[in-house]
Amino acid sequence: MQAFKKNAQIVCITSGGLIQEYAETNDIDYVLIDGGSPPRAAFGQSFVQLLYILFHLSLLEAGFKKYLQDTIALLDSEQENIQKSAKEIAQKLNGKIPVIYSDAKFEGVSIRFRQQINENAKMLCWHHVVPEMNHNELVGWRERNENMAVVFLRNNKDYERNQERMEFTKEVVSQYTNDVFEIYSKGDHDVVRSLYLIHITDWISYFLAEIKGVDAVEVDVIGRLKNKLAESPF
């Protein structure tokens, strides 16, 4: 409604249903993507469409197209190694509470990794970013806890001071758990590096679900919450 009040140009990305109906009824532009998958599994389509929408609205330069092609080539060439590494890390995270740390610039990747572990593997997990966690959460590492497993999402191009912070943080947390892992990105641009990390961490969440014998798609408790809220008069 705020967008309507501001007379903003609205574009929807939808796999159909009520959003498509709403867009057609209100003469709103929309992009139709394949349906039948959970939203998190449609990231490859929805994210790319978002970039093209921003480009169409002159809010993004055309260079992103090269980064997408570079990502495709990288993931195709690294697919076997990515899945192998993802499966090995998943086996080590099984039965643990994962803690994800990354440079603040890549917090979006960390959030997705956490949410993929939550939804796909049905596990609790948390994340934080450097340098912010160095001002607070770092102090919380005081007791040994082998139920914890720490995953650092790293980039060789991270800000130099933040790389120093991560090395120090790794030394600290390694005193309190033996399960500390680093996943380094690949690629020559932040878009490529982000998508590489998203790809490998998505696979980790998938293999965790497989190891645990749980349905990666099922999110019944969220459906129950939505139904409960739908019954509320507020």
Q: Is the pLDDT of residue 232 over 90?
A: no
Residue 129 · residue 102 · CB < 8 Å: yes
Give mean pLDDT, residues 8-18.
93
Q: Which residue has 């929408």 as its token pair?
A: 53
**Length of the chain counted residue by residue:** 234
What one-character DSSP code corresponds to residue 37? S
Q: Distance (Å, rounded) from C-alpha 228 to C-alpha 232?
A: 7
Phi, psi (rounded to 5 degrees) for 12: -105, 145
- Considering the four listed CATH numbers 3.10.20.70, 2.70.98.10, 3.40.1350.10, 3.40.50.10490, the one that applies to the domain covering 78-212 is 3.40.50.10490
Single pTM value for the model: 0.93
The answer to whether residues 45 and 15 touch, using CB atoms and an 8 Å cutoff, is no
Assess whether pLDDT exceeds 80 at residue 1.
no
Over residues 82-109, mean pLDDT: 98
Give me the amino acid identity at 25.
T
Task: Check if the beta carbon of residue 158 is closer than 8 Å to that of residue 115.
Answer: no
SS3 state at 129: strand
pLDDT per residue as tens digits for the range 31-75 = 999 988 899 999 999 999 999 999 999 999 999 999 999 999 999
Q: How do the domains of the chain map onto residue ranges?
A: 2-61, 78-212
From residue 211, alpha-carbon distances to 79, 123, 205, 218 in Å are 20, 12, 10, 16
When pLDDT is averaged across residues 103-125 and rounded to a whole number, the result is 98
Tell me the HSE value of 205 on the side-chain side, using a 13 A CA sphere: 27
Residue pLDDT, tens place only, 185-225: 999 999 999 999 999 999 999 999 999 999 999 999 999 99
- pLDDT-based confidence at residue 3 (cuts at 50, 70, 90): confident
The beta strand positions in 52-104, using DSSP E, are 97-103
Q: In degrees rounded to 5, what are phi and psi of residue 98? A: -70, 140
pLDDT of residue 87: 98
159-190 pLDDT per residue, tens: 999 999 999 999 999 999 999 999 999 999 99
Calculate the CA dihedral of residues 34, 124, 80, 36 and round it to 10 degrees: -10
Coil vs helix vs strand at 11: strand
